[in-house]
Amino acid sequence: MEHQFETTILSCLDIALQEIQNSEQTQQINLPDSMPDIGSILCAWGQVILRGKEWRGDSISFSGGMMIWVLYAPEDGTQARRIDAWIPFQMKWDLPGDTPEGTIRIKCLTRFVDARSISARKIMVRAGMAAMATAYVPKTLEAYVPNGIPEGVELLRGTYPVRLIKEAGEKTFLQDEEAVLPESAPLPEKVIYYRLSPQITERKVLSDKVVFRGNSNLHVLYRSEEGQLHSWDFDMPFSQYAPLGGSYGADAQAEILPCPTSVELELSDEGRLHLKCGIVAQYLITDKQMLELVEDAYSPGREVMLQVQDLALPALLDSATESVYGEQSISAQANLTADVSFYPDFPRQLPQENGIELEFPGTFQILYYGEDGVLHCVSSHWQERTSHSSDRFNRITVLPLAADAQASVGSGSILAKTELTIGISAISGQGIPMVTGVELGEVRKPDPGRPSLILRRAGTQRLWDIAKECGSTMDAIRNANQIKDEPAFGQMLLIPVS
């Protein structure tokens, strides 16, 4: 006699693709007639801008580019000059076949910017960026619930609290702020370059909307009226909310990934800095639900054959924000640092026996005044490794979220330090075994020679396993021994046998 369990539907989002691409582009910059000839290239910087995302059926794409600033020393010996440019980028990822349309999430990083002079009037710039694209698609799963099971069949039910991705979307907003320097800081005469790093500090799901707060960290390198270069950091707070497609309870959580879509910094005649920028906040909403499945079944009086399959749940197992610290001693005859940048790359995941090792690469770039008072620039690659325990089947996602860099001058060297903030999450890669139905054999006749009671000492077995092995039930054993839960190790048990 076959009994098929009823099905219940679970809806969530799953990752159809998650992949990192690196891209390099070169561009020639011609100096305008008003600028002096190039003597030497001092330094170059870049800011990645996300302009658009597109789902094309069999692929997803990202379009944007990099804002470029190049600082050079003129041949005539006058003060350093800056020239800027825009380098467009576009990337494409092919999707697996038969992928339904979903939502794209992009994280972009500036990997490097190199510049060299190819003539007195021309500069060749080479820029590298990296982007991680994640495609989230709707997924429907079937869990099985027992119904109409005959008496005498024992069911072992397991309850699993699972956190599933329920919704993905984005909120685009603008910031229009004035960056105010402290009175002690020299007034800017010329902006050399700027970099915007939006960060989320608070997030909360309130029923049918997600609210979040954060700061747009603006890093500015400028030349003062005295001709000296100075760098300064400003925090521009923001507070936003986005309506959601569903309504959620107190267990719902949000993960938000911000990315600049435009950045413009204007310097007024009075020396005031005015920031206009666009930010896209890409959010994921997860919610917890209790899932009850049948793990095992038996009957003391008849044979029971199980129909079992795995429930492949893309459940979020863990999500956290961590800091990775690093430092590098760079050989340089420096007197004063003018600017410090750190360009992190996406970490590499190296499998280990009990987890993964994360290898964090990055590059320090330091603009400094030498002992001769002349500007110099030096770059140095950095790498750090950390270990994390994780099941080899899980999908681990690691995202560099923010990088703070500092430098101090020593004797014959510069000590550069960074605090790299990363977001790390793990999604289950293993299914949960569940019973989907049972096939019952004929009722067995009682064995007259079988005792009605068995005396047994509890060991490491669960009460379920003891009852199943002895042809009893958990309720019968609990009642006979006046216990409510699992027996204590070594406890003598009286086992009624059916």
Our count of domains for the chain comes to 2
Does 320 map to a domain?
Answer: no
Task: Examine the fold and report which residue of 287, 306, 338 is the final residue of a domain before the chain moves on.
Answer: 287
pLDDT tops 80 at residue 116:
yes
pTM of the model: 0.91
Predicted confidence (pLDDT) per residue in 209-254, tens digit: 999 999 999 999 999 989 999 999 999 999 999 999 999 999 999 9
- Domain extent, residue 125, equals 10-138+164-287
Out of 243, 272, 287, pick the residue that ends a domain.
287
In a domain, 45, yes or no: yes
Type of residue found at 228: Q
What does R_g of the chain's alpha carbons equal in angstroms? 31
Q: How confident is residue 78, by pLDDT bands cut at 50, 70 and 90?
A: very high
Residue 104 lies in a domain: yes
Instruction: Find out whether 398 and 347 touch, Cβ atoms under 8 Å.
Output: yes
| Weakest mean pLDDT among 119-123, 331-335, 364-368, 426-430 | 426-430
Q: What pLDDT, in 10s, does the model give residues 175-202? A: 999 999 988 899 999 999 999 999 999 9
**pLDDT given for residue 456 in this prediction:** 87
Give the confidence band of 389 by pLDDT, cuts at 50, 70, 90.
confident
pLDDT band at 103 (very low <50, low <70, confident <90, very high): very high
Identify whether 272 is part of a domain. Answer: yes
Q: What is the pLDDT of residue 455?
A: 85
pLDDT at 345: 96
Say yes or no to pLDDT of 147 above 90.
Answer: no
> Mean pLDDT throughout 308-327?
93
**Percentage of residues of the chain with pLDDT beyond 90:** 84
pLDDT at res. 442: 86
What's the CATH code of the domain at 455? 3.10.350
**Strand ranges inside 31-80, DSSP E:** 38-55, 59-74
With cut-offs at 50, 70 and 90, classify the pLDDT of residue 444. Answer: confident
pLDDT of the residue at 201: 96
At 29, list the tokens: 């910059």
- Laid out side by side, the sheet with 154-179 consists of 154-179, 273-298, 253-267
Domain-located, residue 212? yes
Q: pLDDT tier at 430 (50, 70, 90 boundaries)? A: confident
DSSP string, 155-217: EEEEEEEEEEEEEEEEEEEEEEEEEPPPTTSPPEEEEEEEEEEEEEEEEEEETTEEEEEEEEE
The neighbouring-strand residues paired with 472 are none
Q: Are 164 and 12 in contact (CB under 8 A)?
A: yes
What one-character DSSP code corresponds to residue 246?
S
Per-residue pLDDT for 409 more than 80?
yes
Which residues in 103-153 belong to E strands, given as ranges?
103-119, 122-145
Round to whole Å and give the CA distance between 478 and 458: 13
Mean pLDDT over each residue of the chain, to the nearest integer: 94
| Residue at 373 is within a domain | no
CB 131 within 8 A of CB 398: no
> What is the tens place of the pLDDT at every residue in 249-284?
999 999 999 999 999 999 998 889 999 999 999 999
Q: Is the pLDDT of residue 174 over 90?
A: yes
Among candidate residues 287, 319, 351, the one where a domain is terminated: 287
Residue 257 CA: distances (Å) to CA of 14, 125, 191: 18, 29, 28
Residue 479: inside a domain:
yes
Q: In this predicted structure, which of 88-102, 241-255, 400-414, 435-449 has the lowest mean pLDDT?
A: 435-449
Q: Confirm whether 494 is domain-assigned.
A: yes
